[in-house]
Amino acid sequence: MSSSRKRQLSIDVTAGLISGICCSGLFNPWDRALYLSVKNDRPFLSADHFKQPYQGFSQSIVQRAFLGSIYYIMQGELKYHMYPYLRHDLHASETFSQFCIGSSAGSLSGLLTNSISAIKYHTWGQEGRSFFRSSHDMWSNGRFSPFIKGTKATMARDLIFGSTYEVSRHLMKNKFPKLNDTNDSYLNFLCNSTAASLGTIASGPLNYVRTIQYATPPKEKPPTIIQSLVNVWNESKQHNKMSFFQRKFRVGWGTARVAVGMAAGQYVFDVVSSKLRNKL
């Protein structure tokens, strides 16, 4: 590996981990409450969801930092390696290039983080359980199966989210040239949060499926993506569809969480990357 590639990789990994640690600590209570609200089918603001907002966090800070950083690391590496090839060698359009970066970064990060996410969600579902205790229980009750459940839903969700996020950011920057000014952090934050909101809404059904699969006990086989979507569609027939899907897919609190979290993470990643490039 050349020195320039090693330098870029070290920048992406360092900036990604710093971003992951910051956002994991800041948004952990929000994430836990969202999961419990779906699992228990209760309103997001139920008091029980916030009784132990940092349950298991100290035992799994490394894992959560990885979860929060991997998309940005993939994004940085793909922009360094894939983007020039797409644009200059294949002469692909800017929009298509951003789509490829987003979908690749999303699906790869989903694949790499799914098992850790499954353990994390199991920890939230059991009061007083540590990350490693949950790992042991999952292994005892289902061997490999509990660790790989939700993989397809996670990869599909993150592919849809990543491609929507990157393409939307690109289109907004073309529409509003001032967004290309890296010093205008407010506009860039607004652009990134809006793009993340669109990505969250587009990938909402797959995120719901993923949560349902994670919430399935280790000894049971989780429903497939199709089964989960058919079940929620049949359930919606007894309700007002607009409000029902808004509640089930957490369009509101869930959308806001991803919008703010992604924009904050992108901001930290970009700032740290810029400072590291200037020093190295």
- Asked if the model's pLDDT at residue 140 lies above 80, the reply is no
Summarize the confidence of residues 71-89 as an average pLDDT. Answer: 90
Chain centre to alpha carbon of residue 116: 13
Query: In the structure, what pLDDT confidence band is assigned to residue 278 with cuts at 50, 70 and 90?
Result: confident
From CA 146, how far away is CA 216, in angstroms rounded?
A: 9
Please provide the average confidence, as pLDDT, over all residues in the chain: 81
Cβ–Cβ under 8 Å, residues 155 and 115? no
Question: Quick one: pLDDT at residue 129?
Answer: 61
CATH topology of domain 3-41+59-279: Mitochondrial carrier fold (1.50.40)
Extract the tokens encoding 273: 């990357």
Question: Quick one: pLDDT at residue 62?
Answer: 66
From CA 113, how far away is CA 10, in angstroms rounded?
A: 20
**120 or 57: which leads in pLDDT:** 120
Query: In the structure, what pLDDT confidence band is assigned to residue 20 with cuts at 50, 70 and 90?
Result: confident
Rounded to 10 deg, the angle between the 94-125 and 61-84 helix axes is 170
- Asked if the model's pLDDT at residue 212 lies above 70, the reply is yes
From CA 85, how far away is CA 56, in angstroms rounded?
A: 42
Q: What is the pLDDT of residues 199-208, one digit of tens each?
A: 988 998 898 8
The continuous run of DSSP H or E covering 83 comes out as helix 61-84
Q: What is the pLDDT of residues 145-177, one digit of tens each?
A: 767 777 888 899 999 999 999 999 888 887 776
From CA 33, how far away is CA 51, in angstroms rounded?
A: 10
What's the CA dihedral at 224, 226, 231, 234 to 10 degrees? -170
From CA 202, how far away is CA 161, in angstroms rounded?
A: 7
Extract the tokens encoding 84: 């020039």
Domain boundaries, the chain: 3-41+59-279
Question: Quick one: pLDDT at residue 241?
Answer: 75
Summarize the confidence of residues 168-187 as an average pLDDT. Answer: 73
Query: In the structure, what pLDDT confidence band is assigned to residue 96 with cuts at 50, 70 and 90?
Result: very high
Extract the tokens encoding 172: 């907004």
Query: In the structure, what pLDDT confidence band is assigned to residue 181 with cuts at 50, 70 and 90?
Result: low
Beta strands in 1-57 (DSSP E): none
